[in-house]
Amino acid sequence: MYRSHTCGALSINNLNQKVTLSGWIQKIRDKGFVSWIDLRDRYGVTQLVFDTERTPESLLKTVQNLGREYVIQISGTVIERESKNPNIPTGEIEVLVANLTVLNTAKTPPFTIEDKTDGGEDLRMKYRYLDIRRNPVKQNLIFRSQVAIAVRNYLSGQGFIEVETPYLIKSTPEGARDFVVPSRMNEGQFYALPQSPQTFKQLLMVAGMDKYFQIVRCFRDEDLRADRQPEFTQIDCEMAFVTQEDILETFEGLTKHILHHTKGITVEKFPRITYADAIKKYGNDKPDIRFGMAFGELNALAQGKGFQVFDNQELIVGIAAPGLADYTRKEIDALIDWVKRPQVGAGGLVWVRYNHDGTFKSSVDKFFNEETLLAWAQALQAQPGDLLLVMAGSADKTRSQLSALRMELANRLGLRKADTFAPLWVTDFPLLEWDEESKRYHAMHHPFTSPKPDDMHLLDTDPGKVRANAYDLVLNGNEIGGGSIRIHDKKTQQKMFSLLGFSDAQAKAQFGFLMDAFEYGAPPHGGIAFGFDRLVAILGGQETIRDFIAFPKNNAGRDVMIDAPSTIAQEQLEELHINLTKSED
C-alpha cells in the first residue's frame, strides 16, 4: 500500500494519526534546524516537516539529497502547524515524517511545475507529461471528463443510446480533406477516417435506433489555423420522428443540464434569431449576446445630405459604444487605425460623440445637424455618454467589419465576461452557398440537410435563396453546435447531390448505400453535433481548445512530444502496396 491518504485529504480532524503519503516534491525549504517539503499529488499539497529535534539524523541526511519532482513515499504523524495557511484545505496541519522512501528520482524539469510557469508553449508541449502536473492543465482535463459524464448521463436519461460507429470508413470528396489509411488486405484501396459519423448516424435512424448519441473523435486534414486540431471530439446526436422544434428543445435541455451540473449556472429559455436577422443585427452568424451594441442601419437618415462618402453606398450601419463619448481624439484615431488594418479592411469610421449633456460632436458635423445625429443615436439605441461609430460600404463586407469592431470594443470594455454564459439559437441558415472559385454551390452545413418545405419551389429557380432546416447553437460568440433536419427521401437527396455538382455516378459511388437505405423506409430525422473541445474550453472560461486536450498537436499537425508523424519502414510501405513520391522542389 503506497498511501493511506492523498495529499489533499488531511485536516485538523486527522490530528495525531499515523499516515502514509506518496507524491511529488513541489518545494523544499531548508532553515537549517528545520526543513519543510511540500508534497503534491493530483488531490493537493501536504506540508511535511523534519527538524533536528524530532527527526532521526539519517532521515535528515536523506532529505538533504532530495530534489524537486522526486517521487517519495513517507509515513509519519499528523500534527498542527504553527503558522497556518488558510488558502489550502490541508493548511492547518503538517506531517512529522518518521520514514521516507525515494520511489523515483527526477532531473530538474525544463520549466517550473507551478500555476504560472516559466515554460513557453513549445517546451510545455514537448514535455506535456510535466505540463499536466500543473494545476491549470490538470483541472482542465478533469473538468473535461466531468462535462462528458454530465452529457452522457443526461442523454442516457432521455433514452439516447450511445452507439460506436466505425473509424475506418470510406473517403468522400465532399467537405474537408480526409485522412486516409492504406489497406494492406485490399490492395490499392484506402479507408478514410471520419470527418464525422454523419452517414452512420443517419443509417442508425433508418435502422430504427431513434435516439442516438456518441462522444466521438473526428478527423479533418486541413491546413491548421491557430486553434484547430486535425483530430477533435464531437458530441454527435441524431433523432428520428422529430421536428426542428423537438431537437431544439432536447438540446437546449442538454445545454442547460451541462451549465447547471458543471458550472452551477441556471439559464432561462434560450433566445432564437434567424440567420438573416443575426447578420443584419450583428454582422455575424454567431453573435456574442453577452452584451448589446446591436447594429442600426442609417441609410434613410444618412444619405442625401451631401456627404458623398455615404451617398452611393449600399449600407450605412452603426453601433453605439457604451460610455465611450469621453474617448479622446487620439483614442478615436487609434480606433480608426484599428479598423483600417488589413485584418479588418475598412476604409474608415465616422464617429459621433453623444455627450453626457445630450449634445453631439462628430467627424461629420459639416453634413449632419444635431437633429439628424439625434435620430442616428435613437436608431442605434444610444444613451448620452455613448460613442456612435458608423461604417459604410457594400452590405456584406461592412457588416463583417462592423462586427469585428463590435467584438474589439467589447473586449476593451470588458463585456465578454468569462463567467457569463449567453446561449443563442441561430436558425434558418441558407441551404447553399455559392463558391466563386469552383463556380458551384456548396452545402452550407452538409449535403444531407433538408431544405425548408416552404422554399422547396426555389430549388430549381433560385437555389441560393433556399433556406434550410438548419440551426446552430451559439455560446458567447462561438458556434458550439450545429445541425439540421435531414433529407430522408432518395429523390430530394439526388436533387441535392446534383445541385452540388455530383454526377449520378459519383453520387452513387460515394453515397449509394445511403440512398439505397432511403428506399427501405427511412423515417423523418434530424440531429446536431457539438464541438466538444470548444464547448469545454468555453465552459472553462477560455477560448483556446489546446489547453483542454491532453495531448494536442501543433499547427503543423505534429505531436512534438512523441515526434509524430514519422517515417516508417520500407517493409511497411511494401506491405501496403504504396511508395513515396519524390518531392518536386
- Footprint (CB under 8 A) of its own copies, residues 130-169: 130-133, 138, 141-142, 144-145, 148-149, 152-153, 156, 161-169
Shortest separation between residue 268's beta carbon and its own copies, angstroms:
23
Tell me if 453 contacts its own copies by CB under 8 A: no
**DSSP character string of 479-513:** EEEEEEEBP-SHHHHHHHHHHTT--HHHHHHHHHH
Q: List the x/- string, 355-384, binding to its own copies by CB under 8 A.
A: ------------------------------
Q: Which among 183-191, 334-342, 402-410, 539-547 is the span making contact with its own copies, rule CB under 8 A? A: 183-191
Residues, the chain, total? 585
- Residue from 69, 386, 428, 472 binding its own copies (CB under 8 A): 69
* Helix, strand, or coil (residue 472): strand
- Residue from 50, 200, 282, 354 binding its own copies (CB under 8 A): 200
Cβ proximity of 173 and 153 under 8 Å: no
Q: How many C-beta atoms lie closer than 10 Å to residue 226's C-beta?
A: 7
Contact set for its own copies, span 89-128 (CB under 8 A): 103-107, 109, 127-128
- Residue from 81, 177, 263, 412 binding its own copies (CB under 8 A): 177
Q: Which among 254-262, 273-281, 409-417, 574-582 is the span making contact with its own copies, rule CB under 8 A? A: 574-582
Q: Which is nearer to its own copies, 16 or 566 (CB)?
A: 566
Q: Which is nearer to its own copies, 207 or 267 (CB)?
A: 207
Q: Which among 87-95, 176-184, 304-312, 336-344 is the span making contact with its own copies, rule CB under 8 A? A: 176-184
Non-local (6+) Cβ contacts of 131 within 8 A are 111, 117, 119, 124, 125, 137
Name the amino acid, one letter, at 293: M
- Residue from 92, 114, 174, 210 binding its own copies (CB under 8 A): 210
Q: List the x/- string, 519-558, binding to its own copies by CB under 8 A.
A: xxxxxx------------------------xxx-x--xxx
C-alpha grid cell for residue 91?
A: 493548511
Shortest separation between residue 121's beta carbon and its own copies, angstroms:
17
Buried-state track 425-455, b at ≥16 Cβ within 10 A, e below 16: bbbbbbbbeeeeeeeebbbbbbbbbbbbeeb
* Helix, strand, or coil (residue 153): helix
* Helix, strand, or coil (residue 427): strand
Tell me if 465 contacts its own copies by CB under 8 A: no
Size of the site for its own copies (CB under 8 A): 125
Tell me if 567 contacts its own copies by CB under 8 A: yes
Shortest separation between residue 96's beta carbon and its own copies, angstroms:
21
- Residue from 32, 86, 120, 188 binding its own copies (CB under 8 A): 188
Buried-state track 65-99, b at ≥16 Cβ within 10 A, e below 16: ebebbbbbbbbbbbbeeeeeeeeebbbbbbbebee
Contact set for its own copies, span 7-66 (CB under 8 A): 22, 24, 40-43
Shortest separation between residue 421's beta carbon and its own copies, angstroms:
24
Q: Which among 213-221, 351-359, 439-447, 539-547 is the span making contact with its own copies, rule CB under 8 A? A: 213-221
Cβ proximity of 170 and 181 under 8 Å: no
Q: Which is nearer to its own copies, 414 or 521 (CB)?
A: 521
C-alpha grid cell for residue 169?
A: 470508413
Shortest separation between residue 430's beta carbon and its own copies, angstroms:
26
Shortest separation between residue 484's beta carbon and its own copies, angstroms:
17
- Residue from 30, 241, 331, 383 binding its own copies (CB under 8 A): 241
- Residue from 233, 398, 450, 493 binding its own copies (CB under 8 A): 233
Q: Which is nearer to its own copies, 52 or 186 (CB)?
A: 186
Q: Which is nearer to its own copies, 181 or 309 (CB)?
A: 181
Helix 504-518 × helix 490-499 angle, to 10°? 160
**DSSP character string of 216-271:** EEEE------TT--SEEEEEEEEEES--HHHHHHHHHHHHHHHHHHHH-----SPP
Shortest separation between residue 384's beta carbon and its own copies, angstroms:
49
Cα 96 to Cα 324: distance, rounded to the nearest angstrom: 59
- Residue from 45, 74, 93, 242 binding its own copies (CB under 8 A): 242
Contact set for its own copies, span 251-310 (CB under 8 A): none
Shortest separation between residue 571's beta carbon and its own copies, angstroms:
9
- Residue from 98, 180, 336, 413 binding its own copies (CB under 8 A): 180
C-alpha grid cell for residue 268?
A: 432561462
Q: Would you state the torsion angle of the CA atoms of residues 174, 176, 181, 186, taken in this order, to the nearest 10 degrees?
A: 10
Cα 55 to Cα 48: distance, rounded to the nearest angstrom: 12
Q: Which among 51-59, 218-226, 320-328, 425-433 is the span making contact with its own copies, rule CB under 8 A? A: 218-226
Contact set for its own copies, span 473-502 (CB under 8 A): 488-489
- Residue from 170, 340, 397, 416 binding its own copies (CB under 8 A): 170
Shortest separation between residue 13's beta carbon and its own copies, angstroms:
20
Give the largest Cα separation in the chain, rounded.
93
Strand order across the beta sheet in which 478-485 lies: 161-162, 211-219, 231-240, 525-531, 478-485, 470-475, 423-427, 272-274
Neighbouring-strand partners of residue 505: none
C-alpha grid cell for residue 200?
A: 452512420
Shortest separation between residue 170's beta carbon and its own copies, angstroms:
4
Cβ proximity of 69 and 106 under 8 Å: yes
- Residue from 31, 65, 118, 185 binding its own copies (CB under 8 A): 185
Sign of the dihedral defined by the CA atoms of residues 377, 383, 385, 390, in that order: negative
Q: Which among 53-61, 179-187, 396-404, 430-438 is the span making contact with its own copies, rule CB under 8 A? A: 179-187
Q: Which is nearer to its own copies, 348 or 523 (CB)?
A: 523
Cβ proximity of 426 and 309 under 8 Å: no
Return the CA Rg of the chain: 30
Cα 433 to Cα 440: distance, rounded to the nearest angstrom: 8
